[in-house]
Structure 1
């Protein structure tokens, strides 16, 4: 869980919500039950902390991409959790995945 907290925190101060998200990442089977409380906690954050949370979720996605071949299952879940939370809390992803189809 410490690894997840470090990635979520980045260079900034830890937020209480980071602990909730790290707990989900440590046991992804709990994600459906913890989804609503995490989104509710995020909606109560002031704007500076909300921005810090968004970058925490982006950091998780970047970390998952960088380390994807070390533990494929764990990094897939990490990216999934981060993307679902970012979409629910912010309405979209800051970093969209590139389309595999040529335009």
Structure 2
């Protein structure tokens, strides 16, 4: 066990410069990357929160609410009847569609 620790320590000591340079480059990359990553993560988290809230609201709405919406859409009044008789521009009295 001691030989494994000594070998590992010797290997790290031999490569101390390379490890330091690699650590510095990794830290610089992470710092530069986080400037762009943090706003993207915040935007994605906000979007997920909104979607979850909408999903919960939709799931929590009673079934009668969606049926009422369909009934209201089906209760559209029929189109007004219009005669096909010609109407003059100066017509007085009862004209097309009872105007």
Asked if these proteins are the same fold (TM beyond 0.5), I'd say no
TM-score normalized by the length of structure 1:
0.25
TM-score normalized by the length of structure 2:
0.26
Greater RCO (Cα-Cα under 8 Å, separation 6 or more): 1
